[in-house]
Amino acid sequence: MKIIVLKFGGTSVGTIDRIKKISNIIISYKNKGYKVIVVTSAMSGATNDLIKKSKAISNNFNTSEHDVLVSAGEQVSCALISGRLIHMGYKSKSWMGWQIPIITEGKHSSSRIISINKKKIFEYIKSGGIPVIAGFQGVDINNRITTLGRGGSDASAIMCAKFFKAKKCIIYTDVEGVYTTDPNILQKAKKIKVISYEEMLEMASLGAKVMQPISIQDARINRIDINVKSSFVKKKGSLITKRKNIIRNKVITGITSTRNDAKVTLIGVKDRPGVAASIFKPLSKNSINVDMVVQNISANGKETDLTFTISADELSKTTKLLKQNNKINFRKLSIDKNVSKVSIIGVGMVTTPGVSYRMFQTLADKKINILVISTSEIKISVLINKKNQKKAISSLHKEFKLNN
């Protein structure tokens, strides 16, 4: 059976006219002989509106009821898409996570799909039907509705592709694919035709908004190729696949940046074994994600300065936890919200010497000071002053020949 999974994001189903347009896209694949499974997000803005309502009810809205509430957005778009397909003369039905069921585990609002009952959907597509499945949601072992976190509809589509052994998984969104950098920052950004899971995972985790990192990780683990395309224009998108499928002559594939980071420095920390763990333990317990970390030991070996970055949204909570932490001693707490993290990503740097030098020299030539550096096998990130973000991206984009 030639199955294809088509996922439509919130902007793609954001209005009635757009739902009519994506319904034509769905039928075009059916006419090509595919058995189509549709996965949909909520209409753009719907989930935010529901979250706003929950906050108006309570500052500490129950997590289980939160998932019941926010999952309602997908129910609306499912019914509208299915209703349109029926209007066009096709057999279609909407399916909520609990009706299939899609089984999840983990905490509310950040659950993971562990299994999908295939029987009902298989029977339906064999009968010629087009199932429209609500993304972002499932049920746990207690039969309570769960959600997968923001961007979770991508994860729903990828896991549907896995369990139903789909030939293709296409993510339809409001952009034409994955770009070398944010085209809203740099007009010279180019669409990437093919990108590896590893590169896309780094780009997503470092600021690219096309897909959520957890969805890329699911695709990588299960070796699901993903096509990212625009639902607004009929053009080829970007293919996310395994490394060995890619032939490329560029060292760097893409450049990402963030504008919502904060740099925190603890100056004069009394140095002893386990002090870093004592600093980060309460942050971890409060689900604060620490990113770049640099530690400098004083000449006498008795004190250390420790710098790390977090989301600016977590700054107030972080400073409070640090000041209340009686297991650490420090002379001063320094905070800088006027920072941006710029990263270059590419599997080519594994076998190419001099990439770090080229990056640092390019920034130096533009008089851009580097505050913090972190690296992995396929990425180098630097923290710089936010005012230099665009200049840094533009110069690095040119240096690594991504303008061509």
Instruction: List average pLDDT for each run of 10 residues in the chain, which is 404 residues long.
Output: 96 97 98 97 96 95 97 98 98 98 95 96 97 98 94 94 95 93 92 93 83 89 94 94 79 93 93 91 93 83 90 94 92 95 93 94 97 93 96 97 90
How far, in Å, are 112, 192, 396, 400 from residue 251 at the CA level?
34, 13, 12, 7
pLDDT of residue 299: 67
3-class DSSP state of 134? strand
Q: Which residues pair with 295 in a beta bridge?
A: 306
Q: Determine the Cα angle at 138 with ends 164 and 134, to 5°.
A: 70
pLDDT of residue 189: 93
Which helix (H) or strand (E) covers residue 267, if one does? strand 261-270
Assigned token pair, 267: 């100056």
pLDDT of residue 99: 97
The whole-angstrom separation of Cα 2 and Cα 144 is: 33
CB 102 within 8 A of CB 152: no
> How does DSSP classify residue 101?
T
Which helix (H) or strand (E) covers residue 118, if one does? none
Q: Which residues pair with 323 in a beta bridge?
A: none
Asked, as a colleague might, if the bond just before 213 is cis with ω within 30 of 0, I would say no
**Hunting for tokens 């006219």 — which residue is that?**
17
**Hunting for tokens 């549709």 — which residue is that?**
38
Radius of gyration over every alpha carbon of the chain, rounded to an integer in angstroms: 23
Enumerate domains of the chain plus CATH numbers: 3-174 (3.40.1160.10), 257-399 (3.30.2130.10)
> Going by C-beta distance under 8 Å and a sequence separation of 6 or more, which residues neighbour residue 378?
198, 199, 202, 345, 346, 347, 349, 350
